[in-house]
Each structure stands twice: as structure tokens, then as C-alpha cells.
Amino acid sequence: MLRLDNSKPHTNRVTRAALLLAGLFAIDKVVAFVRQVLIARQFGLSSELDAFNIANNVPDMLFLLISGGGLAMAFIPVLSETLSRDGRRAAWDLFSRIANLAFLATLVMAAIIALLADVIVRSAVASGFTPDQQHLVINLMRLNLIATVIFSISGLVVAGLQHNQHFLLPALAPILYNIGQIIGALFFSPTEGLTIAGVTLPTLGLGVQGLVYGVILGALMHLGIQIPGLARYGFRWTPRIGISLHIDPDRRLRVHGPEGVLKVLRLMGPRILTIFFIQLIFIARDNIASWLPSGSVTALTYGWMLMQVPETLIGTAIGVALLPTLSELSAAGQWEAFKGTVERAVRVLISITLPVAAVLAAGIGPLLALVFGFDTESTNLLLWTTRGYFAALTGHALMEVASRSHYAAQDARTPMRTGALNLTVYLVLGLTLSNFLGAPGLSLAEAGAFTSQAVLLYIFLNRKLPQNLQVGSSLVRGGLAAVLGAGLALGVLWLAAPLLGQTIASVVAMLAGAALALVIVWREVRLLLHL
């Protein structure tokens, strides 16, 4: 069994990967923010944009169930095992078989959803919308399924490259995806072209439907940028799946096929259910919001997007970088090194996300008013909804590492069981809080649900490790940094606003709060260099 001191080759690699991913994710979030601002200024908090946002839910769920989340996390540990045991050719053969299966499954499911879109929308997805809104959602959903089929391959290419410890092209892909959507917002949707330096841009005038064509273009670009990576690592396509179904003499259905494919499918089953539970939360969220005042769905979408900026830069970057390494440590039985790597990651996540969430919640209001250009009522709705999501930041970030730790150990059942509890908690909290608080109540419900699931996952993870994770001191310092940083930000905003104006005061306040918080949690921040 390895001692923690002997894990430096792994940790240095993870640190480099995490920093690379954080940098590229930052660029992606800037581009995504530009995309959302362009869309917001074109459509506002409108029923039309509500329809567009809801129309994405079922196609997104299909992608995540099969290629994005369902297969990818189950895929990488098995690919790593196959690569180390049988070599690169065998690993790529397994990749091809799984990719073929994912594409066919997505194509079939997309066709079924397209046929049943009317029933799905009117009964489950947007039951609170008017008939005209529902009709628009149906049309947009069917069109969005084209992008989903493209992503069925692109999502697995991401996993294939990451298992080779290649993170550059998979991290560039989302940037191009967002650029495709910006093209849709600038050239496909507007009825009047944007004028820049006296030049009016051409436009197709497709309205909200043009946004979906931008999504399709972005999906093609997402896939295209990654093709050179496959060539670099010697990818050769195997045009078969190799599984078959048989009924044995006891009339029980048996699945036969290559060992690696069957192992991925066994891990994928619980993973699909886990993702399904998570996606049901988003579907339930938007369905509940469809009964709330117009603009609630879009406020939730934008609030989620704003929370995702720090969550992606911190939680996702660390989680994605960790998974291949944790998979290797698990396969080798190096549980002490495994525990040390997870512990450092958790300490970093707690100590950084708590103050970041608090400082942003305290000072971001004036910036939202400036950037989105909404009226006072809409801005307040967006602000309080976003604050609810900031409360969920730490829980979401911890989930990134917690779930991947279990999948690295080839345990897909524990995330599945806690995912069911997560959904239950969200439904209870969401239905209750939305009655009193509206859209902000739904974002607060998510904070309660995902934080409770993250805590449970770490409790169960401790049972697999040689020692429990020691994170108490980081929790104390992170909480203290959050309280003092947010307090300072509020004070500076109140004092500086009359002198500097709301917008500049907001930036200064958040910088001051962040600086104070950084001093308090500096010990944990330094652990970023030793992941």
C-alpha cells in the first residue's frame, strides 16, 4: 500500500490538469456569459425564452443518461483498466463498441421522444404553460434532438481523450459549442441585424427557433474540434458492438459480449438511474416554475448559469482532473493514496466555495442590473434566485468529487441510492418553498438537496477508506471566511456606492471580501498545488 508521500507523480499531474481545465473553463464561462447576455437582451424574461429553456430539458436528459453522464463516468474507470491490462488497441476497441451502442440508443430514444413530444410537454414538462407556449416547446424540443444525437458521439470522445490524460481538446469543445450558440443569437434569431461600427450584420430572422439552430451548429463544432485528438492517440474504429441477448433454459434473459462492454453496462445501469434522478430535479423545477409568474423559468436558468461559473472553475475542474488518477489508484489498490487525494480535494473545495458563494451573494446585485438590463422587478427576481443557487455552490462542487470517487472505485450503486434521496428532498423542499418564495424557493431547495447528498456520499466513502476524511478544520476556516468576507463586502458596498456608483462599488466590495477570505483560507488554497 502506498504512503501519501509516494503519490506525488499522481498529484502533480492532477494539479496541472486541474489548472489547465480551470483556465479553459474560465474562457468557456466568459463566452457562455456573452451568449446569455446577447440572448437576454434580445428576448428578456419572456415567455418565448421560457419555452426555449424548457425545451432543452428532455434532450439534455437523454444526452446525459446515455453519453454525457450515464456512460462517461462508468466508462473511464473501465477504459483505464483495459488500457493498463491489454494495451491501447484493446482500449480503443472497447471505446468503439460503446460509442456505437450509445449512438444507436440515442437515435432510437430521440425518435421516440420526437413522436411523444406532445404528450411529454403537456403532461410533464410544461403543464402550467398556455397551449401556444406548449406548442412552441414541442417544436423546439424536436429540433433540439438533432444536437442530442450529435452529442451522443461527442460526449464519449471526451471520455476517450480524458482516459488518455488528454484534457485540452475536451475543454476547448464547450467553448466552440457556445460560439455556435452565439452565431445563432447574432445571425439566426434577430429580425434586425446588430449594427457594429456602422456595419449591420446579416440575419435570418428565425426568432427563438434560430437559437436551436445555433445549438445544432455548436454541437457539430463540439465534435469536430476533438477529432484530431482521436487521431493523435491512434484511434481505430471498430464497426460493431458485439453483444447479444439469449434466453437460457430457465427462461432468463442473458446478455453476452466482450468483458469490457459488459462491465461498462453493469456500471452504467445504476449511473443512468442516478443521472435520471438529477434530471428529474430540473424537469420538476421547470414544471413547478411554469405555474409561477412569467420569467420564473428563465430566472432559474440564468441563476443556475451564474452559479455554474465558480462551480465549473473549481468543482468540475478538480473533479474531471481527478477521475482518471483516482481510477488508476483504485485499480492498483492504493487506497491510502486514494484517500489522501480525495481529502485534499475536499478541503480545497470547502474552503474556497463557501466564501466565494457568500461574497458573490453579497455584492453581485448591481452587476446583474447593469449586464442584463432588466427592469427593477425582474432584476430582483434574478438576484434572489441567484443567491439561492449560490447557497448550493458548495454542495454541487463537493458532488463533483464525491460521485467520481465512488465511480473510480467502480461503485455506481451508492450514488444511485443517494440520488433517489436527493430527488425526494428536492421535491419536498421545492413544492414547499416555492409557495412562499417563488423561483428563489426552488433554487434554495436545490441547495438543501445537493448538499445533503454530498454529505451522504462522503459518509459512505469513508467506509471504503483506511481512515476517515479529515476536513473539520477546513470547514471552520471556510465558514469563517464566508461570514467575514460577505460582511466586509456588504459594508464596502453600502459605504462606497454613494461615492463610486453602484457598479464600481459592487466590484470593489467583492474584491475586498475575497481578499479577506483568501487570507483566512490560504492554507487550503495552497493545497491546490498538491492535488
Render 101-117 in DSSP notation, one character per residue. HHHHHHHHHHHHHHHHH
More confident residue, 132 or 63: 132
Q: What is the pLDDT of residues 381-416, one digit of tens each?
A: 999 999 999 999 999 999 989 988 998 887 878 988
What is the reported pLDDT for 3? 33
Q: What is d(CA 128, CA 292) in angstroms, rounded to the nearest whole number?
A: 8
Q: Which of 18-32, 373-387, 444-458 has the lowest mean pLDDT?
A: 18-32
Q: How confident is the model at residue 325 (pLDDT cuts 50, 70, 90)?
A: confident
Query: How far is the C-alpha of 360 from the C-alpha of 303, rounded, in Å?
Result: 12
Residue type, 428: V
Higher-scoring residue by pLDDT: 305, 216: 216
The string of DSSP letters for 115-177 reads: HHHHHHIIIIISTTS-HHHHHHHHHHHHHHHHHHHHHHHHHHHHHHHHHTT--HHHHHHHHHH
Distance between CA atoms of 188 and 42, rounded to whole angstroms?
Answer: 12
For 62, the grid coordinates are: 437523454
Q: Could you give the CA distance from residue 382 to residue 300 in angstroms, rounded to a whole number?
A: 8
The answer to whether the CB of 458 falls within 8 A of the CB of 493 is no
| Grid cell digits, residue 284 | 420538476
Mean pLDDT of the chain: 83
CA 205 to chain centroid: 31
What's the whole-number mean pLDDT along residues 459-486? 91
pLDDT of residue 74: 65
Query: Strands 195-196 and 253-256: what pairing?
Result: unpaired
- Across 3-10, average pLDDT: 42
pTM, two decimal places: 0.70
| Integer Cα distance of 438 and 430 in angstroms | 9
What is the DSSP-derived secondary structure letter of residue 189?
S
CB proximity list for 219: less than 8 A, separation 6 or greater: 146, 147, 150, 151, 154, 177, 180
pLDDT class for 515, splitting at 50, 70, 90? Answer: very high
* Number of Cβ within a 10 Å radius of residue 85: 11
* pLDDT bucket at 5, cuts 50 / 70 / 90: very low
Q: What is the pLDDT of residue 7?
A: 43
The per-residue pLDDT for 24 is: 79
Contact call for residues 164 and 76 (beta carbons, < 8 A): no
Mean pLDDT of 10-24: 68
